[in-house]
């Protein structure tokens, strides 16, 4: 896994654009970010799409469950500022166009872990064929990581926890994970020490304040996910200027 950029735009483009949209990803690139994180779930038609919640209400003008909504209805919705919910394939194409490192968070609706992970892993392997170092798969779902390991073995995997469990090194070995992701507010020094000893980068979400960023980076965190593109654009841009991706 190549060195990670310090900043990832969270949910596509953070809080300045509708989350998990192509406009958000474009905005992240415009602000000089070299990495973005987004969430991928399946529509009722089995299409991997970018969305965070299992339900449509918070981020779109629709209602009901994403996993019950077929593509024709899903893609007719407004996901904010006239944006529509993107297909995973469209987001991947945009990331490749802008040379953004993509952290694909597999976000299965409850009970759909296997089919979501299979579809997303297979498609990710196709979409980044020959460029596997420009994508990082993560998931809170152990089943999804296991499937990603088996179906997209060349794509690096990140363990994703809110609070890191004490047996995380075993989990990391089982999934052959290369990165460890957790909530910044639950970051523990014993986890950082063990990860450091194993040479495993630790990534923290969601870091929206300069003091938090300063503190976690001083403690040894490698990268952070932020909604505040405006606040950290300078750092992300400087990093882009000093080490162009790709
Ligand atoms: O992948 C890091 C972060 O996105 C996990 O939390 O709820 O924003 O997907 P969430
Ligand atoms: Mg996410």
- Please give the structure tokens belonging to residue 161: 């926890």
**CA-closest residue to ligand 1 atom 1:** 105
- pLDDT tops 60 at residue 240: no
**CA-closest residue to ligand 1 atom 5:** 205
pLDDT band at 236 (very low <50, low <70, confident <90, very high): confident
Ligand 1 geometric centre to CA of 205 (Å): 7
- Residue-level pLDDT at 14: 80
Query: Taking the model in full, what pTM does it have?
Result: 0.96
- Residue-level pLDDT at 239: 62
Ligand 2 geometric centre to CA of 76 (Å): 23
Ligand 1: lining residues by beta carbon, under 6 Å:
10, 37, 39, 52, 105, 138, 160, 181, 205, 225
Domain locations along the chain: 7-52+87-241
Q: Please, what CATH class does the domain formed by 7-52+87-241 belong to?
A: alpha beta
Rounded distance between C-alpha atoms, residue 123 and residue 89, angstroms? 8
CA nearest 175: which of 193, 188, 161?
A: 161
**CA-closest residue to ligand 1 atom 6:** 205
pLDDT band at 1 (very low <50, low <70, confident <90, very high): confident
Q: Percent of the chain scored above 70 by pLDDT? A: 96
Ligand 1 geometric centre to CA of 16 (Å): 17
- pLDDT tops 50 at residue 245: no
- pLDDT tops 80 at residue 2: no
pLDDT band at 244 (very low <50, low <70, confident <90, very high): very low
**CA-closest residue to ligand 1 atom 3:** 205
Using one digit for the tens of pLDDT, what is the confidence trace for 92-146?
999 999 999 999 999 999 999 999 999 999 999 999 999 999 999 999 999 999 9
Mutate to test the pocket of ligand 1, among 8, 10, 221 (most ligand atoms within 8 A of CB): 10
- pLDDT tops 80 at residue 72: yes
CA nearest 88: which of 22, 150, 159, 140?
A: 22
> 209-218: long-range contacts (C-beta < 8 A, 24 or more apart)?
212/184, 216/184, 216/187, 217/6
């Amino acid at each position: 896994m190549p060195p990670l950029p310090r900043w990832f735009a969270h949910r596509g483009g953070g809080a300045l654009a509708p989350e998990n949209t192509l406009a958000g990803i474009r905005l992240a690139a415009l602000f000089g970010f070299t990495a973005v994180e987004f969430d991928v779930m399946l529509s009722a038609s089995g299409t991997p799409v970018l969305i965070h919640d299992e339900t449509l209400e918070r981020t779109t003008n629709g209602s009901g469950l994403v996993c019950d909504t077929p593509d024709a209805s899903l893609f007719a919705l407004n996901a904010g500022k006239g944006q529509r919910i993107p297909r995973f394939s469209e987001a991947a194409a945009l990331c490749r166009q802008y040379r953004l490192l993509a952290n694909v968070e597999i976000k299965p609706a409850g009970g759909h872990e296997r089919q979501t992970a299979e579809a997303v892993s297979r498609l990710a392997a196709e979409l980044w064929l020959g460029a596997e170092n420009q994508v990082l798969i993560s998931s809170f779902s152990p089943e999804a990581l296991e499937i990603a390991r088996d179906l997209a073995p060349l794509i690096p995997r990140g363990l994703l926890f809110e609070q890191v469990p004490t047996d995380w090194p075993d989990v990391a070995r089982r999934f052959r994970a290369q990165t460890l992701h957790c909530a910044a507010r639950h970051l523990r020094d014993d986890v950082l020490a063990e990860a450091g000893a194993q040479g495993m980068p630790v990534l923290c979400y969601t870091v929206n304040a300069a003091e938090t960023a300063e503190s976690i980076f001083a403690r040894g965190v490698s990268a952070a996910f932020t909604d505040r593109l405006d606040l950290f654009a300078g750092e992300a841009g400087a990093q882009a200027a000093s080490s162009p991706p790709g």
